[in-house]
Amino acid sequence: MDTNKLPDHRKIGRDLDLFVFSDLVGPGLPLFTPKGTIIRQELENFVKSLQEKHGYQPVLIPHLAKKELYETSGHWAKYKENMFHVLNENKEKWVVKPMNCPHHIQIYASRPRSYRELPQRYSEVTAVYRNEKPGELLGLTRVYMLTQDDAHVFCTEEQAVEECLKVYDIIKNFYSVFGMDVGKKARMSLRDPQHPEKYLGDDKLWEKSENMMRDVAKKAGLETYDGIGEAAFYAPKLDFMAYDSLDREWQLATIQLDLNFPDRFGLTYIDKDGSNKKPIMIHRAILGSVERFISILLEHFNGALPTWLSPIQVKVLPITERNLDYANQVTKLLSDQAIRVEVDDRNETLQAKIRDAQLQKIPYMLIIGDKEEKENTVSERGRSGKDYGAQPLEEFIKNVKKEIETKSLD
């Protein structure tokens, strides 16, 4: 395979005007344009729609914390060199958050909890900041700021396996729409027993959490293989692998079953008999990093994103200036139906307009000439060059809306 001919998300992003980098802002800090932001919002909204039926509630946390928060979690000892450090005017050490879990823990810990309230499911799409080595920064795949579709579940031991299976349901449904089925295979990411110093907690806690993860995999019907040393420093993981159109393997979604953080933070809930018990904490991510996932998608589709995800879904192309009024009417009708549409009103030839729309990977072009205006129709053309011919605008709207709502790949 000639790697020089493979799609490169950096070039695609530049050509399609999706994101930029600025020397004044700094490396590893992407700036998303209006078009790129649409892609982000569509992905985020899709995840939200999948998790709402499972009872996830949105939360919002600050981007700073005292270092004591991360000392308690264990991140300070294990991860300090990868954090951005801040000194306030009193010379107190603060941290730009590299993880969200300690903040979410503080929401749970803010008041006493009863078993009747569990599970508590907190979700948030938010940025974290990690001090990567400058030489390791690469486009959207390795950045200083990455956005996580993060969620944490606090539940009883009896609820934990079922909660993990609900996460697996979200993962399956999410990846299926991209033709990147996570399939039936996952990596069981375990601690390395030869290096216990890398991990929090004792053997008993780890054995329990690892056994529960194996139970999740069994009930999900997953084929797993062990990844020794691939666990988070606080918990084992189920890491899901996806394959893109270039046959590359990516580790994206993850489920982590954590007994250590509840122990370190002294989390409890009041059980049926009035006793205090420790909850189990589940960490989960569906996209992983929004930036990295977008880079994968751009290369997976070579920029030709599915219609529901495309920043501009339809381009209206009037053949002459006298067709512009009708073209604007068509544009308004499409926009009123929540279809993302633009009209190309430049004084250019039709072929030039078609070529530019194809280069921008816009799924559909509607050509408007005297005949279309007279017959109150539109002539549809796909970005692949296929000519679908003239049809009533209402029929085109119906078909495109169905394609968007079903998140079709066609």
Catalytic residues: 101, 130, 148, 150, 152, 237, 283
Q: Are 366 and 379 in contact (CB under 8 A)?
A: yes
Residue 17 CA to its chain's centroid (Å): 20
How many Å apart are CA 218 and CA 184, to the nearest integer?
A: 11
For 205-325, strand residue ranges (E) read: 223-228, 237-243, 249-258, 269-270, 276-277, 280-289, 314-318
List the 93-96 sheet strands across, edge first: 64-66, 93-96, 84-87
How many Å apart are CA 360 and CA 310, to the nearest integer?
A: 10
Residue 101 CA to its chain's centroid (Å): 17
3-state secondary structure of 312: coil
Sign of the dihedral through C-alpha 201, 207, 210, 216? negative
Nearest to 293 by CA among 58, 59, 39: 39
Q: Are 199 and 160 in contact (CB under 8 A)?
A: no
- Which amino acid does the sequence have at 43? L
What φ, ψ does residue 367 adopt, rounded to 5°? -90, 130
Cα angle for residues 257, 259, 265 (degrees, 5° grid): 125
